[in-house]
Amino acid sequence: MTDQTMAYNKQMIKLNEEKQRRLKEKNERLNIDEVSPVKDKVIIMTIALLLGVCFDTFLIGQYWGISVGIIALIFISGVHFSVKEKHFNGMSYLFLGAILLLSGTFAIYNNFTLRFLNVLLLPIVFTAYTLSIRYPDWKYMNVTYLLKIGGKMYPKSIGTIPKLFAFIHGFIKEKPRKEMSDSTKHVLGGLIVGIPILAITIVLLSSADAVFSNYLSELTDFIELPRLDKFIEHLIPITFVTLYAFGYLWSNQYDDLKYQKEVHVKKMVEPLTMVTIMGLLVLVYIAFTAIQFSYLYIGMGHLPNGLTYAEYARKGFFELIFVTVMNMSIVLFGVLVTKNENVKLDQLLKSVYTIMIVFTFNLLVSSFYRMSLYEKAYGYTELRLFVQFFIVFLAISIISLMVWIWKREIPLFKVGVVTAIAVYLVLNFINVDKIIASKNFEHYVLTGHLDRSYITTLSADAYEVIEREKELLGQENYNNYVYYNKISSETNNWYEYNYFKSLMKE
């Protein structure tokens, strides 16, 4: 038998195994669908529809305030109902707390960047919370669980959406024949599928042709019905959110994660090779650290080429952060892929990794110090403050990495997740814009420099400070700040309530 034939046979065996796995998974799903009570199906369908209606009513075209918290509570209720056997642990409580706090920030703060990031992160944290109470082994989570979060959010949830139509068809089919004929059933099924498609088509045609849109408006006015285009505008987001919410919630019925294979890293690098690589890097960082102490921290050296000390101190922090992340990745990669057959070489490698981390920690200290000098010279901005928080996160992470090198039983990934959530929550609740405004006014007293145009772009979170210092800011800039915040996010409904927005209305 040739090598080509053997490779072909192995490929066919894998394909057959995958086919059998998918068939088994499908049969298990069908069995769960059949034994699940009709009441559970109806309740999950109702929760999904409620989420769709709330999403359209509270969020589309509205300012996001306490409405986000309301939708979060509804979604949490749906998750708790759809997960029959719950396995609470420390991580699940952490995720739940993060959901409640992050959704609550929309009712308090208005920083655009953080609101945007929270919109992206909340679905991820929601999914992590769902899986943490659905599967008991989630408390041992590692980096491969990111794949499981992605799988739950998209292929699993979206792939379950057709079950909604199957359930509706089943409800219709179970009705007595005297109540509904076969033709009526077929027509009703066609309407269920066809109406959303019709709605999308009408919206697209109305947008493409102004005359067609005008005729639709005249038709709805003539028969005294709500405008069809407005009705469809609401129908589309309700439909999409309802479908996804149902798929997400009903997919909790299935034990899909047991079919996902764990990713194992193969140890392929010889210890001496890694010692050589790390040793060369350590030599470079010894020289770099010596220069840092002589020029940056102490300021006793003579700078070359006419470079001023201020220019030297304020440049390079972004590059240093990049190098820090790169070094952490190299160390982590080395630990995971290097063979550990020789005890002495293993101990030597751990020592070299530790030295490397110590020098890398110096890069973080240097980055933070450079950023502080930059702020003292040019003032405070959102990006500069965010960078400092990221440096704090990296500092905690690199210390955790150093401990993990010597004590591998420490759950490094979990520590990283907890650290990231904790630092990010602090960033959300310190009122970034208020700090920036306050620090910049203090900076003006010391230096006489104030970037008034930048301050006018801050959100309503800085209103109290700006109101107090409006004479220093100038009436025109103050008016621009108030106007910018009022037109960018007007609130008229109770569910749009936001604390700092309400202060501006008083």
Q: Which of 106-120, 182-196, 340-354 has the highest mean pLDDT?
A: 106-120
Sign of CA dihedral 12, 18, 21, 25: negative
Residue 178 structure tokens: 């005297």
Q: Which of 226-235, 365-374, 476-485 has the lowest mean pLDDT?
A: 226-235
Which pLDDT belongs to residue 301?
A: 47
205 Cβ contact partners less than 8 Å away, ≥ 6 residues apart: 212
Q: Give the other-Cβ count within 10 Å of 147's Cβ.
A: 13
Give first-to-last CA distance, the chain, whole Å. Answer: 86
Residue 6 structure tokens: 């053997």
Its pTM surpasses 0.85: no
Residue 245 has pLDDT above 90, yes or no: yes
Which pLDDT belongs to residue 124?
A: 96
Beta bridge partners of 338: 269
| Rg of the chain taking only CA atoms, in angstroms | 29
Which pLDDT belongs to residue 279?
A: 86
Which pLDDT belongs to residue 300?
A: 47
Who has greater pLDDT, 382 or 271?
382
Residue 166 has pLDDT above 90, yes or no: no
Q: Which of 372, 409, 370, 368 is nearest to 391 (CA)?
A: 368
Q: Is 305 in a helix, a strand, or coil?
A: coil
Backbone angles phi, psi at 304, to 5 degrees: -85, 165
State how far Cα 416 lies from the chain centre.
15
Residue 177 has pLDDT above 50, yes or no: no
Q: How many Å apart are CA 60 and CA 486, to the nearest integer?
A: 18
Q: Which residues of 297-328 are buried (b: 16+ CB within 10 A; e: fewer)?
A: eeeeeeeeeeeeeeebbbeebeebbebbbebb
Which pLDDT belongs to residue 169?
A: 77
Q: How many Å apart are CA 415 and CA 395, to the nearest integer?
A: 13
Q: Could you report the per-residue pLDDT of 26-40, keeping only the tens digit for each?
A: 666 667 778 788 889
Chain mean pLDDT for the chain: 82
Residue position matching structure tokens 């986000």? 68
Q: Which of 8-17, 128-137, 353-362 has the lowest mean pLDDT?
A: 8-17
DSSP 285-335: HHHHHHHIIIIIIS--SPPSTT--HHHHHHS-HHHHHHHHHHHHHHHHHHH
Who has greater pLDDT, 493 or 133?
133
Helices (H), 36-135: 38-54, 66-82, 90-105, 112-134
Q: Which of 16-20, 146-150, 461-465 has the lowest mean pLDDT?
A: 16-20
Q: How many Å apart are CA 455 and CA 469, to the nearest integer?
A: 11
Burial of 214 (0-12, 13-18, 19+ CB in 10 A): exposed
Residue position matching structure tokens 């101990």? 347
Backbone angles phi, psi at 278, to 5 degrees: -65, -35
Task: Report which residue type is found at 501.
Answer: K
Q: How many Å apart are CA 458 and CA 432, to the nearest integer?
A: 10
Residue 374 has pLDDT above 90, yes or no: no
Helix axes 382-406, 432-447, angle to 10 degrees: 110
**CA triple 92-328-365, angle to 5 deg:** 100
Q: Give the other-Cβ count within 10 Å of 137's Cβ.
A: 13
CB 77 within 8 A of CB 468: no
Share above pLDDT 70 across residues of the chain, in percent, rounded to a whole number: 74
Q: How many Å apart are CA 437 and CA 460, to the nearest integer?
A: 11
Please state the length of the chain: 506
DSSP 420-460: HHHHHHHHHHS-HHHHHHHHHHHHHHHHS---HHHHTTS-G
Q: How many Å apart are CA 331 and CA 326, to the nearest integer?
A: 9
Confidence of residue 23 (pLDDT cuts 50, 70, 90): low
Residue 458 has pLDDT above 90, yes or no: yes
Which pLDDT belongs to residue 106?
A: 96
CB 428 within 8 A of CB 101: yes
Q: Which of 201-205, 268-272, 432-436, 451-455 has the lowest mean pLDDT?
A: 201-205
